[in-house]
Every structure is written in structure tokens, then in C-alpha cells.
Chains A and B, each alone.
Chain A
Amino acid sequence: MAITESIQTVVGTSVKRREDASLLRGRGTFVDNLTLPGTVYMAIVRCPYPHARIVTMNLDVARAAEGVVAAFSGADLAEDWKGSLPCAWPVTEDIKMPPHFPLATDEARFQGDGVAVVIASSRALAKDAAELVEIDYEPLEATADVEKALEDGAPLVHSDLGTNECYVWKLETDDFQAALDAADVVVTRRYFQPRLIPNAIEPRGVLAQVGPSDEVTIWSATQVPHILRFALQIVLGYPESKIRVIAPDVGGGFGSKLDVYAEEALAIALAKRLGRPVKWTEERAENYVATIHGRDTVHHLTFGATKDGKITAVKSEATCAMGAYLQLVTPGIPLLGAWIYSGPYEIPNYSVTFTGVFTHTTPTDAYRGAGRPEATYVLERTMDALAAELGMDPLELRRKNFVKEFPHTMASGLTIDSGDYDASLDRLLELLDLDSIRSEQEALRAGGGAQQIGVGYSTYNEMCGLAPSRILGAIRYAVGGWDSATIRFQPLGSVQVVTGTSPHGQGHETTFAQIVADQLGVDLGDVEVLHGDTAVSQLGMDTYGSRSLTVGGVAIWHASQKIVDKARKIVAHQLEVSEDDLEFANGSFSVVGSPDRAMDVKAVAFQAHSAHNLPDGMEPGLEATATYDPPNFSWPAGAHAAVIEVDIETGDTRLLRYVAVDDVGTPVNPMIIDGQIHGGITQGVAAALWEEGVYDEDANLLSTTMTTYLVPSAAELPSFETARTETPSPTNPLGVKGVGETGTIASAPAVINAVVDALSHLGVTDIQMPATPERVWRAIEEARQ
């Protein structure tokens, strides 16, 4: 058998995506594309008030409407729930965790809270009938303001708790206050980071069926089929062994599909009651209220520093909106940033406090970056503020405080495994051509015209790749951080790879196939990557927190080593040599010194399955499973710069350039990495300039469509300039680091720093995100007075 062509360099190359073939032809398997015989359609009746008592509800008219199969109030279904929709991250021992059932029964606590459900023979008829449910509400006082919700007399979201305070979480080094008091310079700034609405272009969707022996199958637009499976046992009582969760093609998530939602439980409960498959597809208007939001936090950030710019202490006090209920990881989102309020800087004294607050709003939860954009924003904005206070160049201040030696244990207690922060900044400055930007800025200022420009930076690091299960346990996260992989040679040499991660646009099939092709020396085309179905991938912890490659991909690497180990035993047995005398390269085992005595790994696979001549006691087959629990988080880092034009007469902004240098360790597929960075940057730029989920004083959501919540189009953005520096992670054998969130974490502060820089000659020192024309114009006017 011919030795496979050497392809052991496929890692590190921009292999084009295998996922594209079906998606480009319109053959995606998105949940709304699927139906089963006899499917009925669910519509949710949602409370139009931010807070209301349900006085009476009459479903008779709806039940009598054309095509209606059934209609239920929250009270009608109360017996179906064996447990609350779970929150997996009770961050403190005394956290307040109010129950949260799929439908409200007597009190609705945010605009959009589900109160009844109608099932009909078509999507349209279900929606028609939902309008016919008669509900008498008693509107109650409500607040959406995270600070006002803590004031005495504020309307309570859960009156039985007696407070809107959900928890207080604190991490502080010894003698912190003394260290801060000893600083030459102290700078404190307040920041509000508004609500962001994730807006995956595919809304959520569910299709559920329950078989005659209570075997449950649910297709869901979810990032987390495995977590959903165990959550459904908690809510519905079916054993996990009877629940099959399928995440087919999923149209983007960004954290919003990292959750367990009411509609998933409702669809199963109703499929059981009705004996028919039940389908629900979210409309965009529903998505704005019924799918989680991100951010909505107020920070006070304080730096203590020496006169010459060495930062000695950092203190963050943040008030963080939970929304009306705790979703899957709502309370833990701030904690994902809790250890990195020192960023890439060496700051020996550290204090972080989070206060979680209930408000009459859609629950918050993970949105791309989750906790780390919030931390990085206040940190990088305050770096510029401190530089201004000290009269230092903001880049000089950053360099002076960079961590230089790795591994580095931060004051917060976690250890950064690797990095080279100066290298990323050096590369950024090579690309940026700062001198010409500053010359142009000076000329524009001297010219006195309306168009002015500014440049802003963000040097960041982040912790991702969630992660060591022991640490997650220590911070009260309920599930593990490992992931699982199975590699299975078929008898004739093709390879199935089963991953416990669950992609929704990230290109795992391509990236993971590259790893396996390299490790096993087989053609990429011989490797099939399977995922997203708990009947196929029985063990896994899914996709979020930039964990798929650094945990799931590394699990695949470990499984491939087990395959090679077993194959080596078979070859040694058949060639009658010692295992130590065999070398494995390019898919072939050969005897050291006698390269003509060799066996291709595919031939070994056939021998393993025929089992005619295996070592005594060896099980047939060539398959291995590895479960990998990383010893550390993943620590990507980088340096970003934004160049922005501001019209000082209208307040309008235009992003002229965005330059990003990221260090995500050893690249597996540079094309896919760049794509992740482009998308991530865009979401951070959008937060800085356009996107804001606005509630009015009575907690009515005003941003309810894509025309009032400004998801950017191509027309608002430039092309990006990206580059990489590479410091391989010593934590894993692939040297890889996470990349899914870096762009979002880095970009918002770079953009706002650039806006402020553009206006600094006018005396502007801060702009509230997003920097809308009105806010920019007002900031200029206020600075003039």
C-alpha cells in the first residue's frame, strides 16, 4: 500500500471550510427548516407590561379559534415542571435565586415574560389565536435602572426577597486599602456599559417530540446540547438517558444560545401532552425581549499609581444587571472578568467587587466576551485617563506596566501561562504609522474644520477556554470545564471524529479535521467530524467562552495519541519488532533503520477490525476516546488601534481604520482565526458606536427592532488590518489559545479612546458608549462651557 502523501503540515494553513458546501447551496439544517409529520406550532403570549399582576386570563376564545389545538396558561402547566429553569452559577453562598418557570403564573416581571401558550396547526394560526387570549393585567411599578433598583423604595422584582440585590461578590488582596492610600496619584472614573442585544441572525427555534415510551428528541438552535440535556432533566424530570438533544446547523449564537430557555421546556411538555411534535420559531421582535441580553453594568474603576506611572493598585466596584430572573449563567458573567482587572499589567494590589441586581428587564447572560469586555473597557479607558493625569503618553504608560515575564501569577491569583505584550504592540505600531496620523491630526486641528481625527488603543489580555474544572468548582460554577473527543477508524481507513463541542459558525469541522489529519497522517478528506447530537456525541461541554479549540481540540489531539499507541502495538506484533523500534510519520509506521518494513495506518485499521492477528488480549477496532481537562485557562492577548473621524459640528463618527494584532498562540487555520477576529472586532465597534438596548423610565424596552437597535451593515465599516504575533501556549500540546472573543474584548475601548482623542483638544475627556452623534455633540458642547 502506498504511503500517504505527506500532509503533516496541514495545521497552520488556511484550509478552506468544508462547512461551506451545504450552507452556500441553501442546504443548511437550521431548526426552522425541519418539520416532522403531524407537527403543530407554538406561539407564546407575552406580557406587554414591564411588571404586572395577572388578574384573570380567559383562553376560551383562543381555544375556539381556527386551527387551534390547545391553549394553556402558566397555571395550567404548573404541574409539568419538576424544577426551575436552572441557574448553573450560584456565585455566592447567600445568592438569592428566585424560581423561574417557563411561564409566569400570577406575576410577570419583565416586558416579554411568557404568560400563556397557544398551539395550532400552522405558525400563522397560532399567532392569530395568541392575540385572542384575554388577560386582565394590573400593571405594577417597575425599574430598569441598575442603580435605582438598589435604592430604598425601589419597585421590587421579587417582592418576597425584600430587595433587588441578588448578590455581592468580592475579591481583594491583603492590605489593599493601605496600598491604595499610599499611591502618589489616584484616578477614579465611572462608566456605564449599556445593554447589548446579541442579534444572532438566526432567531432561536425548537422542534420537540416525545415518543410513546417518553423518549424525548429536541432539535434546538443551541450552543449547548449537552448542558441543555441535563437541564431538561431538572426541569421536566425525564432522565437524561431518554433525552436526545440535536443542535443542527445553528445560525450564530455569540452567547445568546448558551442558555436553557423556557421555550425548550415548553415544546417538550406540550409535545408530551398533545402526542404531536411541537415547533416554535422565534420572531425577531420576540428575540429582543425573550433572548438574553448582555452587559448593563455601572463601574467605578480606581487606579493608584506612582508619579512616574507605575500602577500600584486597581479597584473595581461594579453594579451589574441580572434582569428579572437568573438564566443559566447570569450571575457568573461579571466573574468571567473578575481576575483580569489588571489586564496585561503587573499591578500588585487588587480589589474587585460585583453587586448583582434584579431589574424588571430581560435577563442578562453571556454575550461575546462575557465579563471580559466589561473589565477591559474600564481598564483601557482608565489607562488613558491616568496617562492624561500623569501627562504621559498612553502607550508609554502601558509599556511601563506590561507583565514582562511568564508564567506570571497575578495579584488576583490566576497564572498567565505565556505572552509577549511588547511584541504585539511593536507590531501594531509598525502597521499603524502613528507619525502620519499625528501629523494629519495636527493639520486638521490647525485647519479648524469640522472633520477631526483621533487614534485610540487597547492593549488587552483575557482568560478564556473554560477550563480547569477544579477552578470552576472553586468559583461555584456547577459544571465541569473538560471536553471529550472520540476518534474512530472505520475498517477501510476513513476516520470519524466525534467532538463534545458544538459549533455554530466557527468552522470546527475544518479546524478539527486539520488536527487529526496531521496527527494520524491521513488525508483531510478521510476525516469526518461529527458534533451537535447527544446520541452521537454523548459526552461534551459544548461551545462557549472560546473553549472549543483549547479544550475540545486538545481532547482530539489526546485521542489521536491513543490511536497511534494502539496502532503501534498492532504493527509491532505483526512485524515482530519492539514498539520502540517503530517510528510513525506521515501516516506510516516503519522500523527504524529498515524503512521498507512499514505499515500504513489505514492498513493497521483494517487489521484492527479483521482481528485475525492481534496481540493477545487486545480488543478489536481502532477507536479511542479522550477527555481533557485543561490545567489552566487560555490567555490570548494583543494590541489594537482605532483611527476615527469625528464631525465636531454634527457629532457623527466614521471609523477610518482598525488595526488588530492578536496573539492566539499557534494558529491551526489562519483564515478562520482572521474571520473570528473580524467578527469580534465588529461587535465591539458596534457597542462603542451604535448598539444600545434602551429601556425607558418605566422599564419599557424601546429598542425592539433592527431599525431602533443599530446592528451595523457593511456600509458603516472599513476593512480591517490584522496581524498576529505567536507565543505558543505551554499549557497544551498544540500551543493554541482561544480566539472567539478577543476582537470584542479589545475593540470597544480602542474606539472610544479614539473618539476621546479626536476631541481632546476641545477638552472632552469621556464619551458614554455608544458614541452616538447626539452624545458626541453634547460632550463637545459641555466641554465648551
Chain B
Amino acid sequence: MRRVALTVNGTRHELELEPRELLVYVLRERLGLTGTTVGCDTSSCGACTVLVNGESVKSCTMLGVQADELEITTIEGLARNGELHPVQQAFHDHHALQCGFCTPGMVLAAVSLIESGEATDEPAIRAGLEGNLCRCTGYHNIVKAVAAAAGVR
């Protein structure tokens, strides 16, 4: 076991972790933050995407102990004072989710894409979301929502 300190959605947690525990299971099972979902366990689908120090990371690809002293944002930490983050709001406005299982990861990937300035047009948004799979929407409305949140056409 190893002692680590993670800051998740602004709250610092000191935890004893097994070295093999994946970050996604630390979030889900140790901290009860089940908004981050597991779709493939193999870094293919992106459902488990979170922000680590502001950058999108597939949390099934990172060990919990690697997150020591890092800042993590999960879907639960995105809305502020009950108000949806603009990307969450755009997903609602544009019907960019159906079953909602990939949505937390997709939203966080989009937040990262927009904040890094890479969401410049539709092709860039499509390329930027390549690591996040959705089986319901065909991406049409996801791309519209991200473009709207990014203020591009």
C-alpha cells in the first residue's frame, strides 16, 4: 500500500492505495464518484475520461498512485453552484446524449479540447474527439454541441 494525496474536484483526499489500483476505480470505489464510467478497461472508448491538471486523461490508463499530488476534475466537479458548465448545457441544448454512459467522458474531453484552443472547426472537433466513443448519437449532435460551446461553426 502506498499513501497518496489527490485533489478531486477541489477536495483533497489522503488515501492508502494498492499500487495496481487504476485511477478510475479509485474515483469510483474509494471516493464514490461513479459519474466516471468504465466502458472498455483498455483505453479505447474514453468513457472514463477525466481532467488531470486540466488535461483530459483516460482514467483507466492511469494508476491511482500516479495521481499523487495532482488535481483531478470529474464530471461531478464540472457544474458550479448548481449551474451546468457551458459544455454540459450545450450537450443538453443539442441533444448530444442518449443513454448517457459515454457522456461524462465525452463532456470532459470536449472541455479539454475547447480550453486548449483546438476546437476550431468541425473537422478539428471530430479529430479531437477521436478517443471517445459513443454508440447512440452517431456524434452528429455531440459535434454540434461542442461547436456551440466553443463558439465555432
Residues in A lying within 8 Å of B, measured CB to CB: 14, 16-17, 19-28, 30, 32-33, 123-124, 199-203, 249-252, 254, 281, 283-285, 504-507, 671-672, 674-675, 678-683, 705-707, 711, 713-715, 717, 719-720, 743
* With contact pairs A17-B92, A26-B36, A714-B129 given, residues A252 and B84 touching in the complex (Cβ less than 8 Å): no
B56 CB-CB contact with A under 8 Å: no
Q: Which residues of B contact A32 (CB under 8 A)?
A: 28, 34, 37-38
Contact assessment for B101 and A251 in the assembled complex, using a CB-CB cutoff below 8 Å: yes
A200 to B122: give the CA distance in the assembly, Å.
25
Contact assessment for A201 and B101 in the assembled complex, using a CB-CB cutoff below 8 Å: yes
B69 CB-CB contact with A under 8 Å: no
Contact assessment for B135 and A679 in the assembled complex, using a CB-CB cutoff below 8 Å: yes
Q: Which residues of A contact B78 (CB under 8 A)?
A: 25
* With contact pairs A681-B138, A714-B143, A715-B126 given, residues A706 and B44 touching in the complex (Cβ less than 8 Å): yes
Question: Binary interface profile of B, 61-83, with partner A (CB < 8 Å = 1, else 0)?
Answer: 00000000000001110110000
Partner of B99, one of A14, A202, A683: A202
Partner of A711, one of B76, B103, B135: B135
Q: Which residues of A contact B79 (CB under 8 A)?
A: 25
B98 CB-CB contact with A under 8 Å: yes
A28 to B92: give the CA distance in the assembly, Å.
15
Q: Which residues of B contact A680 (CB under 8 A)?
A: 138
Partner of A201, one of B45, B107, B138: B45
7 additional contacts (CB under 8 A) given A22-B100, A506-B98: A24-B100, A25-B75, A200-B135, A252-B136, A284-B42, A284-B45, A675-B136
Q: Which residues of A contact B129 (CB under 8 A)?
A: 713-715
Q: Which residues of A contact B75 (CB under 8 A)?
A: 24-26
A331 to B136: give the CA distance in the assembly, Å.
26
Partner of B101, one of A30, A123, A717: A30
B97 CB-CB contact with A under 8 Å: yes
Query: For residue A28, which residue of chain B has the nearest CB?
Result: B100
- What is the minimal beta-carbon distance from A23 to any residue of chain B, in angstroms? 3
Query: For residue A675, which residue of chain B has the nearest CB?
Result: B95
Contact assessment for A17 and B95 in the assembled complex, using a CB-CB cutoff below 8 Å: yes
- List 22 contacting pairs A-B, 8 Å CB cutoff, sorted by A: A17-B95, A20-B92, A23-B100, A24-B92, A25-B78, A25-B79, A26-B35, A28-B34, A28-B35, A32-B28, A200-B135, A201-B135, A252-B136, A674-B141, A678-B139, A678-B140, A683-B135, A705-B44, A706-B45, A714-B132, A719-B140, A720-B138
* With contact pairs A16-B93, A200-B135, A202-B39 given, residues A28 and B101 touching in the complex (Cβ less than 8 Å): yes
A252 to B101: give the CA distance in the assembly, Å.
8
- What is the minimal beta-carbon distance from B47 to any residue of chain A, in angstroms? 6
B41 CB-CB contact with A under 8 Å: yes
B130 CB-CB contact with A under 8 Å: yes
Residues of B in contact with A, size category: 35 or more
For the residues of A in contact with B, the DSSP-based class is: loop
Question: Binary interface profile of B, 88-127, with partner A (CB < 8 Å = 1, else 0)?
Answer: 1001110101111111100100000000000000100111
Contact assessment for B40 and A717 in the assembled complex, using a CB-CB cutoff below 8 Å: no
A504 to B97: give the CA distance in the assembly, Å.
11
Query: For residue B131, which residue of chain A has the nearest CB?
Result: A713
Contact assessment for B37 and A251 in the assembled complex, using a CB-CB cutoff below 8 Å: yes
Contact assessment for A24 and B141 in the assembled complex, using a CB-CB cutoff below 8 Å: no
Contact assessment for B98 and A717 in the assembled complex, using a CB-CB cutoff below 8 Å: no
Q: Which residues of A contact B88 (CB under 8 A)?
A: 24-25
A634 to B126: give the CA distance in the assembly, Å.
35
B134 CB-CB contact with A under 8 Å: yes
Contact assessment for A720 and B133 in the assembled complex, using a CB-CB cutoff below 8 Å: no
Contact assessment for A705 and B34 in the assembled complex, using a CB-CB cutoff below 8 Å: no
Query: For residue A680, which residue of chain B has the nearest CB?
Result: B138
Contact assessment for A23 and B103 in the assembled complex, using a CB-CB cutoff below 8 Å: yes
- What is the minimal beta-carbon distance from A705 to any residue of chain B, in angstroms? 6
- What is the minimal beta-carbon distance from A257 to any residue of chain B, in angstroms? 11
Contact assessment for B99 and A714 in the assembled complex, using a CB-CB cutoff below 8 Å: no
Q: Which residues of A contact B2 (CB under 8 A)?
A: none
Residue of A507, A713, A715 contacting most chain B CB atoms (<10 Å): A713
Contact assessment for B136 and A505 in the assembled complex, using a CB-CB cutoff below 8 Å: yes
A252 to B107: give the CA distance in the assembly, Å.
18
Contact assessment for B35 and A25 in the assembled complex, using a CB-CB cutoff below 8 Å: yes
A393 to B90: give the CA distance in the assembly, Å.
44
- What is the minimal beta-carbon distance from B142 to any residue of chain A, in angstroms? 7
* With contact pairs A20-B91, A24-B88, A251-B37 given, residues A682 and B100 touching in the complex (Cβ less than 8 Å): no
Contact assessment for B39 and A26 in the assembled complex, using a CB-CB cutoff below 8 Å: no
Contact assessment for B130 and A251 in the assembled complex, using a CB-CB cutoff below 8 Å: no
B137 CB-CB contact with A under 8 Å: yes
Residue of B40, B78, B92, B140 contacting most chain A CB atoms (<10 Å): B140
Q: Which residues of B contact A679 (CB under 8 A)?
A: 98, 135-138
Contact assessment for B33 and A26 in the assembled complex, using a CB-CB cutoff below 8 Å: yes
A201 to B97: give the CA distance in the assembly, Å.
12
A17 to B36: give the CA distance in the assembly, Å.
21
Query: For residue B20, which residue of chain A has the nearest CB?
Result: A124
A281 to B133: give the CA distance in the assembly, Å.
19
Q: Which residues of B contact A682 (CB under 8 A)?
A: 137-139
- What is the minimal beta-carbon distance from B50 to any residue of chain A, in angstroms? 10
- What is the minimal beta-carbon distance from B37 to any residue of chain A, in angstroms? 7
Residue of A504, A711, A719 contacting most chain B CB atoms (<10 Å): A719
* With contact pairs A26-B33, A201-B133, A203-B39 given, residues A252 and B138 touching in the complex (Cβ less than 8 Å): no
Contact assessment for A249 and B98 in the assembled complex, using a CB-CB cutoff below 8 Å: no
Query: For residue A507, which residue of chain B has the nearest CB?
Result: B98
Question: Binary interface profile of B, 20-59, with partner A (CB < 8 Å = 1, else 0)?
Answer: 1000010010000111111111101101000000000000
Q: Which residues of B contact A25 (CB under 8 A)?
A: 35, 75-76, 78-79, 84, 88
Query: For residue B132, which residue of chain A has the nearest CB?
Result: A713
Partner of B142, one of A199, A254, A714: A714
Q: Which residues of B contact A19 (CB under 8 A)?
A: 100
Q: Which residues of B contact A505 (CB under 8 A)?
A: 98-100, 136
Q: Which residues of A contact B38 (CB under 8 A)?
A: 32, 203, 281
Q: Which residues of A contact B133 (CB under 8 A)?
A: 201, 706, 711, 713
- What is the minimal beta-carbon distance from B9 to any residue of chain A, in angstroms? 10
- What is the minimal beta-carbon distance from B134 to any residue of chain A, in angstroms? 7
Q: Which residues of B contact A203 (CB under 8 A)?
A: 38-39
